[in-house]
Amino acid sequence: MSGHIAEYDVIIAGAGPAGSVTAAAVAGAGYRVLVLEKNATCRSPCAGYISNTINMELPDDCVVQSKITGMRTYFPDLAFHDFELNGFVVDRPSFDMALAKKAEKSGARIKWDSPLMDINSCEVRFQGGNTHGKIIVGADGVFSKTASLLGLERQKIAVCAQYHLKGVKPMRNTAEIFFNVDYAPGGYVWIYPTGEESAKAGVGVTIGSKTPREYLDSFIRESHAFGGLDVKKTGYITGALPTGGLREKLVFNNVLLAGDSAGMADPVTGAGINNAVLAGEMAGKTIIEALESDDMAALSQYENRIKRLLGRPFARALEKRKRLDACVNNELLQEHLPELWVAFKQYWKN
């Protein structure tokens, strides 16, 4: 197919949640959609916690590893605070693949192993060929090629590492979150149960002199969380997520940014799956309106809709992010955590 010119209404870079949800919506309305995915399969690094705040129906083929009903947040001195929370821990590749299959069923075409390489107005070059699309969506994650082709700055990030552990006894139905600058400077450690004797344990950090894996190893070795259990590491991933909040502009003529490429992960929690799904739905709706009216100016509505949805919560989260970053020692973190973490009432007060 090299050099073959095809015509699409929409070309989407990235088969993550933002890309596949956009693709399903637009293809479902009868338009021609191509998704270009860099990898041979879905494999975004992630802990896979999905809160049910947006009442998303999990796709049938998605592997649910545990149901979550609460979050336990640990202060640096290991005092803790319990909070009711409802959601699921999913196997992330199966979640993404189920959304990609849904997009295909709706009529979208996905080209795997086909990274986007260049955009020139409506012409798109990818590894393996060229094609044309009226509208282009950059849903290509935190290190978005689309954003860099638009000349946008790289985003502020948290770097993360996570093991899947066997031979542990995690708290049932509970997401455990640990704050301690020795193990997670500018971030936190998470333990999400995936079974009676297994859990995902990970860390995200925004500052510090060591790699996230080194921080995670020392947490597992030294912390009380595992009580000296003989833990077996059965999986390892590493990745990054944006912490700088929404990009100022999300629409550039016929190009839209959705999900992590647009900075849609929460600057404090790092959660970005739900926002990526919401962005995909809004991008889909706006693109259909623009195609139906044959008016590309209608795409600007997407930015307004996203800002209406995420503007206020993200402004709050960014202010908290700044203050979290200023907690450079455990004394400060111990004192200020209730104002700075979502599980406390104080977070929502000011």
Answer for which of 168, 265, 287, 299 binds ligand FAD (CB under 6 A) is 265
Alpha-carbon span 199 to 190, nearest angstrom? 10
Q: Tokens for 200?
A: 């995902």
Q: Which stretch binds ligand FAD (CB under 6 A): 32-40, 55-63, 224-232, 300-308?
A: 32-40
Told to check if 133 binds ligand FAD by CB under 6 A, we report no
Smaller CB separation from ligand FAD, 38 or 81: 38
Told to check if 240 binds ligand FAD by CB under 6 A, we report yes
CB of 16 to ligand FAD, least distance (A): 2
Give me the phi and psi of 148, to 5 degrees please: -70, -35
Told to check if 36 binds ligand FAD by CB under 6 A, we report yes
Answer for which of 10, 17, 97, 147 binds ligand FAD (CB under 6 A) is 17
What is the C-alpha end-to-end distance of the chain, expressed in Å? 56
Told to check if 15 binds ligand FAD by CB under 6 A, we report yes
Alpha-carbon span 218 to 220, nearest angstrom? 5
Cα angle 103, 313, 150; round to 5: 55
CB of 293 to ligand FAD, least distance (A): 27
Site string for ligand FAD, 187-206 (x = CB under 6 A): ---------------x----
- Restricting to residues 91-120, name those near ligand FAD by CB under 6 A: 115-116
Q: Which stretch binds ligand FAD (CB under 6 A): 12-20, 179-187, 297-305, 338-346?
A: 12-20
Told to check if 256 binds ligand FAD by CB under 6 A, we report no
Size of the site for ligand FAD (CB under 6 A): 38
